[in-house]
Amino acid sequence: MKKNVKFNFNIFSLVFIFLLAVASSCQKNKKISDELDENVFSVKFKIKDFESIVSPLQKANGTRKLVSSKASVNSKEETLFKWDFDLGNADPIIAFNPLPVIDYNNGKVDYGFTAGWPTTGKSISFRGVESILFKLPVQQIELLSNLSLDVNSSGTGPRALLIDYSTDKGSNFSKLSDTIHYPLDLTSTGISKLPISQSLNAIPVMGKEAVWIRIRLYSGKRPPGSIYNPTSSTFKLDNVLITGVVNDTALQNKLYYHIYNASGNELVKQGGISAAETFAVDLPLGTYYLSVLTKNSNSPIVFANSTNRNGFYISNSFMEKEAEIYAVRDTFEVKQSIERTLLLKRLYSEVKVEFTDIVDLSHIDSIRIQQKHPGFYYYPFSNSSNSQLDATFLKIEPNFTENNKSFFFNQFMGFHDTNKTIKYELTVYEKGSVIRSFELKSEVKNNMQVLFKGLLLEEINPGQGFIIRKNEKWDGNVDVDF
């Protein structure tokens, strides 16, 4: 009987100690939560001159119609996500929504980069890979259309793959493809690759926050003498392109913000929000750097390296001759709830070409314009530069009349304190044949208007050059007679 009493007492003691521990834990958790709430503050941002800057951007193609304007987004398939890996990282060069993630084997990101396709570029490489995940944020996306990519493996690597997807962050997967086998004659060296194209129409994307696309790797059908080594072999992929259709208001009505911790330079907040005069975020005590951008275009802003402040930059294709991009940077300290006023500035300049010919120019079919200067990049928080060329070109179908012998386009510039060289090669076509090629050149920076003015048909007055004028209605303006 004494043993039972002692045993019951010991049980009671243990239960009592456990309840004390739980109570103590609850008190500690409550205190931590209270302190967290006390040290998180609302930071409100107000866009200065919102009605004159951002509101016009919400109108389709702005208030001025440029040549060959695009169809509305809801009727056209767009590039949503694109990777080429040429900078040796896994950041996309196009991302409709930030921030898509690539990982493998349940969260690993220690991938490498090797020669891709073309071999002058890079591809992403995985060792001992079983599965690869593309984790896509899909807010405002109405349809995922297609996935295309190039793949290959080392001699002992996988030679078959299967593509499936998840809309619940990996809890369940549904099959997209049957098993895709490498051709037996596909070698593992040089320029050899297996192009893959997979429809994504089966993915129910509407109303979802994220879609995970998974590539699973298998031994597959192997050439004679080829032995699969799942632990040390490598698999690489390149030129990943995901297309789809987005909500017709998603692109032109958004502000994109990135907030970085000043002490560690890491990204702490980001988002794409409907354009409004004010928006707010909650932040704990600290000092922060902010980047805000807005873009009027039927294509998304290209964010790169956005997880680290010093490497973060954006670019924009020269083909987007109508794109209007505004941005602002800010530094602020959070000690209490505060309000910040932001003034967006142009990251582009307007280039106008006006011909002074007195003769009829309606027979001109088109004018092809190619940049002869390096592409421009915007680094909000560093002095970094990028010498990559943009090989795309504009095709202008001018429809010249007696009263209108001009056209214009927007040149993305980024922010610059000093003038930068812009140089273009213009090739003029009549009835499908080239009748003239010439170059135009000037020195400008962002937020300027440039006018090149001169004769299109040089045989009328050979040797006359274009006149350049710089318009001071913006920050500056350049006129060039030719």
Confidence of residue 251 (pLDDT cuts 50, 70, 90): low
User: Whole-angstrom Cα distance, residue 97 to residue 271?
Assistant: 8
Give yes or no: residues 375 and 476 share one domain.
yes
Question: Which residue(s) pair with 425 in the sheet?
Answer: 370, 439
Greater confidence, 274 or 451? Answer: 451
**279-329: pLDDT as tens digits:** 888 899 999 999 999 887 766 677 877 778 888 888 888 888 888 899 999
Q: In this structure, are 356 and 341 located in the same domain?
A: no
Q: How many helices (H) and strands (E) does the chain have?
A: 2, 33
Residue 250 banded pLDDT, cuts 50, 70, 90: low
> Could you tell me the two tokens for 99?
């921030």
CATH number at residue 270: 2.60.40.2100
Find out whether 156 and 172 touch, Cβ atoms under 8 Å.
no
Binned at pLDDT 50, 70 and 90, residue 147 comes out as: very high
| Residue bearing tokens 């490497």 | 311
Residue 14, φ and ψ in degrees, nearest 5: -65, -45
Which residue type sits at 357? D
pLDDT, averaged across the chain: 82
Name, in order, each residue with C-beta under 8 angstroms of 54's C-beta and a sequence gap of 6 or more. 47, 255, 275, 277, 294, 326, 344
Query: What pTM did the predictor assign?
Result: 0.60
Domain boundary among 289, 314, 345: 345
Residues 84 and 231 in one domain: yes
Beta bridge partners of 396: 367
Three-state DSSP class for residue 379: coil
What is d(CA 421, CA 443) in angstroms, rounded to the nearest whole number? 5
Q: Domain span at residue 436?
A: 347-481
Matching residue, tokens 């609302």: 42
My answer on whether omega of the bond before 118 falls inside 30° of 0, hence cis, is yes
**Rounded-to-integer distance, Cα 339 and Cα 8, Å:** 62
Q: Mapping DSSP to helix (H, G, I), strand (E, B) and coil, where does residue 21 land?
A: helix
| CATH number of residue 436's parent domain | 2.60.40
The reply to whether 26 falls in a domain is: no
| Residue of 460, 458, 480, 461 lying closest to 471 (CA atoms) | 480
CA distance linking residue 66 with residue 404, whole number of Å:
13
